Structure formats: structure tokens, C-alpha cells
Structure 1
Amino acid sequence: MLDTHCWLWALSEPEKLSPQASAMISDHTNNIYLSTASIWELGIKAQLGKISLPEAFETFVPTRLQVFQTIPIQITPSHAIIAATLPLHHKDPFDRMIIAQGKSENLPILSNDKVFHNYDITIIEIAR
């Protein structure tokens, strides 16, 4: 599962990714997952002007999901319960949801966020 910034880097700045992360994302035998929390986070950041997208958000997301045949992971009640009960190492609600989904679905998370290592999940570092 890709953390939000990992997905953006893979799409627009692949040179920032480590060779291992690039290979994993490019390998068509791997399923690439993205939390719907990441989509929500991008929308908010775009509205606030914290990120700039090359096209309207409502066009950007569906077209970019197709690039790596990305599979969105919907937020379920069990994901919300896990996110709400995680230790408070991470305060960002979007990251807490990504962590909860990775934990619940037993998926490694490709991320550069060092705080993720404080949780009992598999993290694959993505930065060069």
C-alpha cells in the first residue's frame, strides 16, 4: 500500500523513489493499493493550496488511479476502530488511517514517514 506522498512521487517525481520502491511499484505482478484517506487528503491539500495538481482534482484522481492500476482501499468501520485506538505516536488522522488499513489488511506500507516505524506494521522506505 502506498502512502500519499509515495503515490504522488511515483506519478510525478519517480526519481525521488528508491530503486526498490520503483521496482515494486512498476512490477505488474504486484497489486498497488491506496487508501481512500489518501484521496481525501489530496483533495484537502489541493483546496488549501498546499499542493498543485496539473488538472482538476476530480479528473486527476480517477486518471492517475489507472496509471499503476491502483486499487483503492475503502475505509471500513473496523479500520476506523483500529485508527481510533492506535497509540498516539502519529497525530495525522490520514496517516493513522493508512497505518490502520495496513495493519488490518496485512499490507506493507511504502512510506518515507519515520513515525510509521513506531507501529507494528511492515514499512518499506521509499526515498533514495
Structure 2
Amino acid sequence: MRLLLDTCTFIWLTQEPARLSIEAARVLDDPANDLMLSYVSVWEIYSKATAGKLRLPNAPRIWVEEQLSARGLVELPIELAALGRMSELPLHHRDPFDRLLVAQALVHRLTIVSPDPSLGPYGAKVLW
């Protein structure tokens, strides 16, 4: 299964794994699954860390790079197709980070691993 980690899922996986649901922990631990981290989440992490809303053990850039490498995560760049798809989504949810993650999941046919119930109405597969 190809899984796109929501930002909070990535942070919990790396910092507070007890916060993951049993199902999320199971699929994230399965080596048969491809785990993807979007540059959208990287942008959100950098923004929150810079604003003092997220504490990390290292500088954000170093921490993200270490986690990507240590966990074998696939980087998902932000592409025009996803930006275009985001512009077509109804405004069920106003968070631009979440909307772009949904658009990427739809464009690339990924399952989002997220506790956020507001992502489901867009038609993306969401697992928690």
C-alpha cells in the first residue's frame, strides 16, 4: 500500500508513537508499505517550528532529513497537478496544508494516514 503521512502522523511516528492508532501503527510498521512524506508536511513542520509551535530535538531541516533517512520515507514533491487539483476541491476544510495533502493523495492515488476526519469528504482514502 502507498501511504501518505499527514504531518501530525509523521511527528507522532517519530516523537510520540503511542499517539498513533493501532491500525496506523500496524500499517506504518509493515515493510510492504511505501511511506511517503510530502513537501507540504515539511513546509508545515518548518513553519510551526519557526513560529515556536513545534519543538524538535534538532534544527527542523536537520531533523526532517534524519527522519526521512532513518525511516526510509519517500519524498513527495509539490507538483502542478496537485496544485491544480487543490484549486478544484470544495472548501470543506480551509487548512491549505491539509487541502494540498488531499490533492496529492487524489492525484497519486495514495491513502492518507491521518486522524483528521475532515479529510474524508474529499473522496481521498483515509486510514486511522
TM-score bracket, shorter-length normalisation: over 0.9
> What are structure 2's unaligned runs of at least 5 residues?
none
Equivalent position of 2:116 in the other structure: 113
Compare 58-67 and 101-110 and name the one that shifted more.
Answer: 58-67
Q: How many aligned residue pairs are there?
A: 125
* Equivalent residue number for residue 71 of structure 1: 74
Deviation string, structure 1 residues 83-116 (Cα, Å, up to 9, x no partner) = 1111001111111110000000011100011110
Distance 1:47 1:41 in 2: 10
Higher-strand-fraction structure: 2
- Return the offset for 1:67: 2.7
Q: Distance in 2 between matches of 1:58 and 1:123?
A: 28
- Find the aligned partners of 2:106 and 2:76 in 1 and give their Cα distance: 13
Show the counterpart of 1:50.
53
Matches within 5 A, 1:1-128: 1-125=4-128
Deviations 1:41-100 (A, max 9, x none): 100000100110111112101001123211111111111000111100111111111000
Q: Is the 8 A contact 1:45 1:51 kept in 2?
A: yes
**TM-score normalised by structure 1 residue count:** 0.94
Displacement of 1:26 = 1.1
* Distance in 2 separating the partners of 1:2 and 1:57: 17
Residue 32 of structure 1 aligns to which amino acid in structure 2?
L
Q: Secondary structure at the match of 2:23?
A: helix
What root-mean-square deviation, in Å, do the aligned CA atoms of Structure 1 and Structure 2 show? 0.8
SS for the counterpart of 2:34 is coil
Corresponding letter in the other structure for 2:18: E
Q: Is the Cα contact below 8 Å between 1:25 and 1:68 reproduced in 2? A: no
1:52 partner amino acid: R
Off by >2 Å, runs of 4+ in structure 1:
none
Which residues of structure 1 form unaligned runs of 5+? none
TM-score (norm. length: structure 2): 0.94
